[in-house]
Structure 1
Amino acid sequence: MSAKNTLNLRARLQSGLQGFMAGRRSESGAVAVMFALSLLVLTPMVLGAVDTYQNNNQRGQLQDALDAATLFAARSRATTTEGVDLIGDTALKANLILPEGSMLIRSDFVLTPANTVEAVAEVTPAGIAPGLWPHPNLRAGATVTRAVDRLEVALVLDNTGSMSGTKISTLKVAAKNLIDTLQTASQRSTEANPLKISLTPFSMTVRVQGTTQTNTYDPATHSGPGIPGWLDPQGVSHARLGAGFDIFDVQTDRFALLKQMNNTPWEGCVEARPRPYDIQDTAPSAGSPDTLFIPFFWPDEPDASAGFYGYPNDYLSDGVTSPNWQVREQNSAKYVTAPAVGRQTGSGYQLGPNGGCSLQPMIRLTSNFAALKSAIDGMVAVGDTNIPLGLMWGWHTLSPNAPLSDGAAYGTENLRKVIILMTDGENTMGDPGSNSEQNRSYYSGLGYIWQGLLGIFSGSSSTRTQTMDARLSALCQNIKGKDITLFTVRVEVRSGASSVLQNCASSRDKYYDVQDVSQLSAAFEAIAGSIDTLHISH
């Protein structure tokens, strides 16, 4: 009730009392006396009810103003109770409108060791008849948990062929806006480099680094400039399964073959590790070949000119006359000339050992937001969908363990790790679809299906998807087990179950099912806001 309404009510009551007093002198004095006596009982009750309503209303206004002031103080860069108190008190006085007769007699804002801002405020009530119905002072309290001081965020973004056109252009805008939002929020932190972000574009593989030349590679030591030590150039983990499980007839150094092929560069893509390391962040170790990463190398496939039709990546002469497709494909002695230039038949990938590895390279955890946005602008849509491999490398970017070791240690105080996974499709391991093609899959970050990296050696499209989904689900559990917050975004998926991505998210509210790509930016903004949210408790 406003001060003006309170005065009007007082005037009306006073006028009424005067009228009734005049009635005592009338001929109907007896009735007037009875009425006046009733009024003496009713008036305090009415005044008390009005007081109660007004005080409840005033208490609500006090709580709203205190909530806003506490949030404002928590979002500030103040690092002491004195600083927080000054900011909060100023904001409270600016927002709080008191009725006539009320006064703010206390407001305290305290920054606790738990990084929360605790506030309390107290005002005197503005009663109509405080002498008749005295009321205690009105109090309100609020607690806001401040944003964590440091944040590590991994963007794991689907760059598969189905993302071409409007989808990928919309994704670029949404991802860059999200970076801007988080960067602005991070400016409230008092920490150095409070925000770091990584970018992992994925399709059927992940490009962990840019083009690396092979002309100075040393086959004798299996090393060279720009070649990470956590790679397994010889494919030992394939060879250990026995003859027939590697893409070559003998254990062969992939980089040595690239060098022999007129110094063909390695474009930076990799295969997934064998189970169980495909979904773990176990550090690579030379003493355990299965923990190392095999460089992506799509072998030359049997010659169409020799009657082997349906093989998409025929870029060299087979060098043998055998009628056996596998003998021709696995012949490691044929890699002595530059690969043919052009596009594969059917898939559209470039010919050669780097076929399908035309993704934008991954960006490791960084606070160089301009470089991140530039890389996002460079994203292209190509290839099938291998969500587990993309998500695993997103996790690697946040992990304190090798191969990257860029993330802070798990459990670091005042640090939050977040992964945002976005995809527009189901897991797939494509098949050229030709009856004469015996690999029964395109080569990818899972090798060929017959190599067993997926955990099966053959199977229909639905069987492959189900197997990859199972690995994805287990991977998500492993990530969440490290206290990493996982957001998942599913864009314009018209078929297939949503339960895999929904269950992957840290909670149901962290799963976004975007039915139209035009809504993607709104979803990303909601995620950015969720990451930066400050919570009020009373």
Structure 2
Amino acid sequence: MKGYRYNSGSVSPMFVMLLLAMLTFMGVVVETIRINIAKSRVSAIGDSALYSASDSDVAYSDARQIVKSNLSHTDKNGLNNGQILLQQGEQGSTLTLTNKLDNSVNLQSFEDPQPNLVVSYQAQTTQVLTTLEIAFSIDVSGSMAGPYLDQTIKGLHDFSDIIFEHERRNDAKTISIVPATGYVNIGNFPHFFDQKSTRIPRSIRKLAREQRWSSLLNQEIPGRDRDAFCARLDENIDGINSPRDITANWIRSLEAAPSRLKKLKLQYSVKQPVKKEYSQGTPLKEYIPTGNRNPYLDGRRDNQGIFDDVDCGISQIQLMDNTYQQFKNSINNLYDEHNTNNAEGVLWAWRVLSPKWKGLWDSRQPDQPRAYDLKDNKKIMVLFSDGKHLIQTEIRDRKQLLLCREMKRQGIIIYSINFESRSDIVRSCASEGKYYRASTRNIRSVMKSIALAINEIRLD
């Protein structure tokens, strides 16, 4: 009878060592992948937190909220909510995010558990050394109605998308918009005006008594209810009757800010307007006194009425926007108005950029407009016009030309856009290499080109 042999024995030591080595290797691979994933997540969260902080007035709070919303205490990968260190200075910001990763893989079970791993990431932003002050002078005369203004507004939105491409808030760039029509509606700045010019004039005293008005600043006066303040044209105040009367010295005097010795003269109208409402639907107000109706006679020396002025329109100066949303809102407040007066638009764009008006425009930005000779600052005007002056043509042309010349002499860079026109004055205003011709077909491309050029500005 045959017997059966059974082999018996133990696993060889070499096989055990090989098996342990393989398990250890696999554990190291898994843990390495987990650590790298954790580092990638922390870096992405850190970048997002710093991006949010740079666009906020409550930087640390916003950064903390971003981290908390992305790292919960029950994170499946074992990544714990960490510590934030945010440092902000004139040269930029630094955010350090430090987290702990649970040491869930114990490679050698016979040893004591290892402490949690520390995963740290540091993100930095560098402050742009060049600060920019930008002012648009936009022709919003009646000829811009319809597709002309529609395409221009789209072009301005494209401009804002590029200027604020990397951040929704940028304190290094401020953008203002000056809507140019017969007059410029500067907005609610009654203290800029000479008190004498706000008194009730003799011609409407009877009406003022009927309405119980004490001055032209009364809220019922046409324009006051919509915070519309327009200044009388300097050439009319100073008796400029010929282009020869416009000198370089007179042009330089226009830069001066309101002071105790000299202030602006408030514009008002005693003539019935040629239309009943502004382009966006706001009715033009009118007050006519008893004894001068049906018909109203504006040539009388007394007993006159007072009316909204079609040339002191709805579109107001929009000042020193430094966030994407502010500038978007400002663009959407542009409407076509009435007459063309690019010279007045250029003048007010200069005043928005002039250091002589420092601290007068926006109490939140008391250091602006900055000095001309500040080495880390550039001032830019973008002049946009669709045509020529039709009223006081020679006077306004020369005024605009000399204004542009003086602004360039002060170091202001001027981009000029001739929109559907060939105006020599608009061309002459441009700094070297900064002149553009545009139409409804390419205005958006032109605006993008100018935005890209401005973004590339660096100090010489």
| Same fold, TM-score > 0.5, yes or no | yes
Corresponding letter in the other structure for 1:282: A
Q: Is the 8 A contact 1:186 1:194 kept in 2?
A: no
- Kindly state the Cα deviation for residue 533 of structure 1 after the two structures are TM-superposed: 2.9
Structure 2 residue aligned with 1:118: none
**1:168 pairs with 149, 152, 166, which one?**
149
Superposed CA offset, 1:317-337 (max 9, x none):
47469x996761x42x555xx
Q: In the alignment, is the contact (CA less than 8 A) between 1:197 and 1:367 conserved in 2? A: yes
The alignment-based identity, stated in percent, is 21
**Which residue number in structure 2 is paired with residue 14 of structure 1?**
none
Instruction: Tell whether the 8 Å contact from 1:207 to 1:269 is kept in structure 2 after alignment.
Output: yes
Aligned to 1:527: 450
> What's the offset of the Cα at 1:278?
8.4
The aligned counterpart of 1:281 is 255
Partner SS state of residue 270, structure 1: coil
Distance 1:372 1:296, change over 3 A: farther
Secondary structure at 1:207 match in 2: coil
Distance of aligned partners of 1:525 and 1:466 in 2 relative to their CA distance in 1, 3 Å threshold:
same
Q: SS where residue 517 of structure 1 aligns?
A: coil
Q: How many residues align?
A: 295
* Aligned: 1:231 with 2:209: no
Contact 1:206 1:359 in 2 (8 A): no
5 Å matches for 1:82-231?
149-184=130-165, 193-209=171-187, 227-231=189-193
1:106-161 superposed Cα distances (whole Å, 9 cap, x missing partner): xxxxxxxxxxxxxxxxxxxxxxxxxxxxxxxxxxxxxxxx9752111112111111
Corresponding residue for 1:423? Answer: 385
Extract unaligned runs of 5+ from structure 2. Answer: 1-126, 239-249, 274-283
Mapping of residues 9-408 of structure 1, within 5 Å: 149-184=130-165, 193-209=171-187, 227-235=189-197, 248=203, 256-257=215-216, 259=218, 265=225, 266-273=227-234, 274-275=237-238, 276=250, 280-288=254-262, 292-300=263-271, 316-317=288-289, 319=291, 328=300, 330-331=301-302, 334=304, 352-402=307-357, 403-404=360-361, 406-408=368-370
Q: Normalized against structure 2, the TM-score is what?
A: 0.56
Residues 316 and 334, structure 1, Cα contact 8 Å, conserved in 2: yes
How has the CA–CA distance of structure 1 residues 356 and 492 changed in structure 2, closer, same or farther, with 3 Å as cutoff?
A: same
CA distance in structure 2 between the partners assigned to 1:167 and 1:255 by the alignment: 42
Could you list the per-position Cα deviations for residues 226-263 of structure 1 after superposition, in whole angstroms to 9, with x for gaps in the alignment? x5322124339x99xxxxxx99489x999714639578
Q: CA–CA distance in 2 between the matches of 1:319 and 1:530? A: 60
Asked if 2 retains the 8 angstrom alpha-carbon contact of 1:298 and 1:355, the reply is no
Distance in 1 of aligned mates of 2:179 and 2:167: 24
Q: 2:399 aligns with which of 462, 471, 481?
A: 471
Q: Which amino acid is 1:286 matched to?
A: R
Q: What RMSD, in angstroms, separates the aligned Cα atoms of the two structures?
A: 3.9
Could you tell me which runs of 5 or more consecutive residues in structure 1 were left unpaired when the two chains were aligned: 1-145, 211-226, 240-245, 303-311, 340-351, 430-463
The CA distance in 2 between the partners of 1:168 and 1:255, in whole Å, is 39
SS of 1:298's partner is: coil
**Contact 2:354 2:369 (8 Å CA) reproduced:** yes
Q: How far apart are 1:301 and its partner, in Å?
A: 5.4
Q: TM-score, normalization: structure 1?
A: 0.48
Deviation, structure 1 residue 294:
2.1
Q: Are residues 1:482 and 2:410 paired?
A: yes
Change (3 A) 1:523 1:279: farther
Name the SS for the 2:355 alignment partner: coil
